[in-house]
Copies of this chain bind each other. A is one copy, B any other.
Amino acid sequence: MAATLGAVAKQAGVSVSTASRAFNEPGRLSPSTVERVVAAARELGYQPNHAARALATGRRGSIALVVPDVANPVFASFVKAAQAQGWQQRQAVLLADTDESPELERRLIARLLPQVDGIVLCSSRLELEELVSLDARIVLVNREVPQLPSVLVDASTGMRQAVEHLHALGHRSLAYVQGSALSWSNSERLRLITENAERLGVALEILHPQAPTYDGGIAAAANIRACGATAVVTYNDLVALGAVAQLTAMGIAVPGDVSVIGVDDIAMASMSVPPITTIAVPMDRAGRVSIEVMQRLLGGHEGEPALVRLETQLKVRGSTAEPVRKGTPA
């Protein structure tokens, strides 16, 4: 059906290899030849057969994206950006969703690895040893493993700004609502908020890990009240949103009685009432950059595995608008 390189070659009156070169190394051909081949190709509607090329070169021309949950807005914007960048670099992007399951993740990786050039593994739930034993062309996102190239979100700037912002508002007692205790992002955020709270002499209460969801936030509200903190930072915006809703339902005003800060800057954070102050995490950039890193990795640039850190930034909104009241909450 589809025209092959052979057909194009015949039509242009050259050999297959010449036709091939017209596309792959036009520099090595006389301009007129290239032109003739290109014309023939267009005439026949020639489309290269990627499977054949892959078989001959060993390069698949595709990379896989493995994420815990595409339906999560954070990963969705990551995927969107990565896909766009991949397309721009003429790489097909395979998508795999692990549904937060380490076992599924493991199987997906095994099945994908032999049929793509590389895998971008986002927020992997796998053990460290398992990750390094993969040996292969893998770029990690939101996971720090010295042996592997990775792109990380560096929450330090955002977290510093968040604690300073709260401190400036007069808050002296702070709580952090954890996300999944296993996640690299959570430990980073925990570490950073601890450092900053100490530095500024703000009391810090660490609240139990919650599912990083709206319901997790609802569940956390009681603990927030119980601990008596006047300000709270949550693992992410979803938790913040749930906490704000439940706090409000319990008669605790946000930001009147307690200030709330989330992380991620998902769309919802700006649409709620009050809108949530948040540490913006550039997952779109992470998507783009991770594909670039992968490209460099495949390009065979040896040396150290790449390590890219992406900056975060505090976005102040209504959930922290007011200075702390003199009295303590509820």
Contact = CB atoms under 8 A, between A and B. Distances in A.
Nearest to A50: B115
Interface stretch (A28-36, A78-86, A291-299): A78-86
A188 interface: no
B79 A70 contact: yes
Contact of A70 (B47, B83, B113, B245): B83
Interface stretch (A158-166, A201-209, A265-273, A315-323): A265-273
Nearest to A65: B95
Given A47-B113, A50-B114, 19 more contacts: A47-B114, A50-B51, A51-B51, A51-B52, A55-B55, A73-B76, A76-B76, A80-B97, A83-B95, A83-B97, A84-B97, A87-B96, A94-B94, A95-B95, A214-B271, A242-B271, A268-B271, A272-B272, A273-B273
Contacts of A70: 70, 76, 79-80, 83
A77 interface: yes
Interface in A89-103: 92-97, 99
B267 A245 contact: no
Interface in A243-284: 245, 248, 267-268, 271-273
7 pairs of A and B residues whose beta carbons are closest in the complex: A51-B54, A47-B114, A95-B95, A50-B115, A70-B80, A76-B76, A51-B55
9 contacts: A51-B52, A70-B83, A83-B96, A84-B97, A84-B99, A92-B94, A92-B112, A95-B95, A271-B272
Given A73-B73, A80-B97, A97-B80, A115 B267 contact: no
Nearest to A93: B95
A111 to B, nearest CB: 8
A298 B60 CA distance: 23
B80 A69 contact: yes
Nearest to A48: B114
Contacts of A94: 62, 92-95
Contact of A267 (B52, B97, B114, B214): B214
B73 A71 contact: yes
B80 A71 contact: yes
A31 to B, nearest CB: 26
A49 B114 contact: yes
A182 interface: no
A18 to B, nearest CB: 22
Interface string A209-221: 0000010000000
Contact of A51 (B73, B84, B115, B267): B115
A93 B70 CA distance: 13
Contacts of A99: 84
A226 interface: no
A108 B92 CA distance: 10
Contacts of A248: 273
Given A55-B55, A214-B271, A77 B87 contact: no
A260 to B, nearest CB: 14
A60 B51 contact: yes
A140 interface: no
Contacts of A48: 114
